[in-house]
Amino acid sequence: MMKTTSNDLPALLNQIGLRATAEGLDDLIARASKGRWTPHQLLEQMARQESDCKARKNLVHRMYMARLGRFKPMIDFDWNWPKKIDRELIERYLTGDFISEARNLVVLGANGLGKTMIVQNIAHNALLAGQTVWFRTASDLISDLSCDSPTLRRNKLNAYGRVHLLCIDELAYLSYDSHAADLIYEVVNRRYECGSIVLTTNRAFKDWNDVFPHATSIATMLDRLLHHADICLIEGDSYRMRESEKESKSRKKK
């Protein structure tokens, strides 16, 4: 029978994938001895530690893949600033329940009203709930899919279709060609009735033909995007502009 020394044990635990147990082995043994744990209690604690460790690592990986960037929490959002906003609708989407229903949300409004901040918080809550989330600007999404290899593009499209929640920021902010419209259509089509999309835009849907001139897929894209969707219209003056004016007045007083 091969003997295992105490120095070998952490290495063996790491080898079989029990990394959390290996890292905290001395503390685990000390607590087990002090508490006079039964073998069942010891195994239960090991399993709990490994599960918690895997969950933390999984969250870190999903946060990295999401690419949310820095954002303010919703507690900092001034609900009284917009002249029009459906707070009840937004708070319902912040719960993440819409993901299981494969519903979409379109946040429509002028610049500086907090559309991106709202979507980032929806995405963050979904991540904390264990969902896979990708947050991309429309430009980044189009750039990512505009590759020469059909196989690579197909694989990327499939990946965009698999995540639980896809957030597309700043859609229709810039003008694109029909090829870009076709790529976005492919993403929407892959997620239709299968996965949720949350997007922000500053252009009314009737103006999207100006954003994607000569594109034939716009009507079909909007039909599928809005079939199971809620639209949150935000109206008002730019919050960022107000902050800038306040800072300017403060500097003048000083």
Radius of gyration over every alpha carbon of the chain, rounded to an integer in angstroms? 24
DSSP secondary structure string for all residues of 41-58: HHHHHHHHHHHHHHHHHH
Tens digits of per-residue pLDDT, 201-242? 999 999 988 888 877 888 999 999 999 999 999 999 988 776
Tens digits of per-residue pLDDT, 79-107? 999 999 999 999 999 999 999 999 999 99
DSSP secondary structure string for all residues of 108-140: EE-TTSSHHHHHHHHHHHHHHTT--EEEEEHHH
Note the pTM of the prediction, 2 decimals.
Answer: 0.84
**Which letter, b or e, does each residue of 49-60 get, where b requires 16 or more Cβ atoms within 10 Å of its Cβ?**
bbeebeeeeeee
Among 40-44, 124-128, 174-178, 215-219, the minimum mean pLDDT is found in 174-178
Domain boundaries, the chain: 8-65, 67-241
Cβ partners under 8 Å of residue 253, min gap 6: none
If phi > 0 it is left, if psi is from -120 to 50 it is alpha, else beta; for residue 167 that is beta
**CATH code that applies to domain 67-241:** 3.40.50.300
Residue type, 7: N
Residue 119 has pLDDT above 80, yes or no: yes
